[in-house]
Structure formats: structure tokens, C-alpha cells
Amino acid sequence: MENAEIQRVFPSALQPGDMVGIVAPAGAFDHMKLHRGISVLEQMGFKVFTPKGLFEKEDYLAGSDEHRAHLLNHLFQEPSIKAVICARGGFGSIRIMSLLDYEIIRESQKIFLGFSDITALLSVFETRCGLISFHGPMITSLADADKESMDAMYRALTSNRKLTIKPAKGLTLKPGVSAGIVTGGNLATLCHLVGTPFEPDLAGHILVLEDIGEPHYKIDRMLIQMKLAGCFNKLAGLALGSFENCGTLEGVYRIVERIFKEFTFPVLAGFEIGHGKTNITFPVGLKATLDADNHMLIYHSPAIK
């Protein structure tokens, strides 16, 4: 089934007093940062559920693949949980993708939030479930999040208004205006989905990309791999978030301009999205317009009901 034909599943807005479940689908996490992040959620007015087994660890993972998948399936199945927020990224989401119950996830209509390695799950929830999910702060990153990040997250998960995201220092790399389904997140994670059964079809999509700790030549290599695989052939637009510790932004932008030279879709850089100080929450799987001329990403409808 083509992505454009998938029936979109809109989660319900979070209300004060709602229960938020924490899950760790990928890497092991810092316990102190987790508890500080939980305090932030509680100050927002939400109750927090930490499932038994959340603190398990197996090497660099938060428990075995089966364990992490079981906890994620369980939280989506539990009626009292209104939203599922990831503890941390790191690595490991791709290892559990074949173990998830996508029918349960689709029918649950729950909010799901994460970024970094969690990009793999945001992507597959769109392609397999049609679920509108959210790219934004996780529990451990909430511990040190700035006010702008926390306010944007709260607004995205509780308000049924249409969102518009406007970068403070937007930079037009390719002019133009286009519309498409917003998807994406971490470049390295998306690149590693290419050639797997979970590779997303990016046709007609506005692709958001960000990363951390990748030197210029690796960013070049990942984008070239995706380009040669045909991932960008029918893209509607490209939005660039933060590239923390990836060398100069100017260098990253030169790579992007070179690789996307022959494409005609708009490219807008400068979004405060990803691993930078500010991490603005945005819906994944929802149609929006990318206006590279006026530096805006304008969603066509609310992400939650």
C-alpha cells in the first residue's frame, strides 16, 4: 500500500492527570536523568508509569530485544496509558521492529514521542500503522531541556490546534513551496533502514534530517547512499534540523547543496530540531507545507484529536 493511501490514525490529546508510560526501546539510560525527566512530566500535570523491567540492561541495550519489544507492546495495549514516551535513544530500535504488534499499536491511538534512534519507530509507525507520532524530547533529555523545548512539547501533545514551526535562524538552501507528509529525524538511523523490510517510501514526503557526532564525510556518505538508493527521487521537500558536533554547519550545508543540486524541491535549514540545545517537537506522518521562502513548516490539520 502506498504511504499516501494509508488511513491516518490521530492520537487523543493529553489531559491533566493522564497517565504517561515510559519505555526504553533502544539504549540503556542514566537513572538520575530519568528521574529528573519524570519530575518534569509530573510538573506538567501528568502521572507517570514506569513498567516493571524498565531498568534492565544488556550490554549497551535496555534489556534483550524480546524484553524491550514486550514492554513497548504492553504499554500500547494498556488502556490506562494515554501516551508512550521513550527514555532514551542510543541504539537498538531497529533490533525490535520485527517483534512489534503493529495492529495493537494502530488500534491504541496513543501518543508516541521520541527522537534520535527512535526515528526508526516513528518511521515504521507511519508506514505500518498510519499513526501520527511525535519527534521530540525523551525523558532523559527532558532533564536538561530548555523552556522552549518543554513548551513546544507540551503544546504539541495537548493542543488540538494546527502547528506551525518557524526556525529562529532559517536559511533557504533551495527556494520554493511544496506540500507533503512530514517524516524523518535522525539521518544515520534512516540511512540504516535502507535495504531492509522497514525502509520508508519517501515519495511525496517532506523529509526532516538531523544528526550528532557525524563528521562531514560520514554525512556525505549517508546522503549519497540514500540518493543512490533512489530515496530522494520523489521527495516533496527537505528540512534540516541541528547537526551537533558534526563540524561546521556551513560545511554540512555545502554537502546538502551539492547532493541535492539537481532536485527542484525546496530545502530549508535552521530548524531547532534534534540534538541541539532546543529540540522543538513536530508531528510525523501528517501533511504540511514547507515554505522555504518564508521559513515555515505549516501543518494542514491538528495532529491530535
- Which positions ≥6 away from 261 have C-beta within 8 Å? none
With cell 488500534, the residue in question is 107
Q: Is 210 a catalytic residue?
A: yes
Catalytic annotation, pick one of 70, 205, 275, 295 = 275
Q: Is 108 a catalytic residue?
A: no
Task: Look at the alpha carbons of 195, 198, 203, 205 in this order and tell me if their dihedral is positive or negative.
Answer: negative
Tell which residue, 135, 132, 164, 179, has the closest CA to residue 304: 132
Is residue 115 classed exposed, middle or buried when 0-12, 13-18 and 19+ CB atoms within 10 A define those classes?
Answer: buried
Q: CA-CA distance, 230 to 227, in Å (whole number)?
A: 5
Give strand ranges (E) for 96-225.
111-114, 133-135, 164-165, 171-174, 177-186, 205-212
Catalytic annotation, pick one of 210, 214, 242, 295 = 210
Q: CA-CA distance, 290 to 180, in Å (whole number)?
A: 8
Q: Is 159 a catalytic residue?
A: no
* The one-letter amino acid at 28: A
Catalytic annotation, pick one of 74, 93, 108, 116 = 116
Q: CA-CA distance, 34 to 50, in Å (whole number)?
A: 10
The catalytic site residues sit at 116, 210, 275
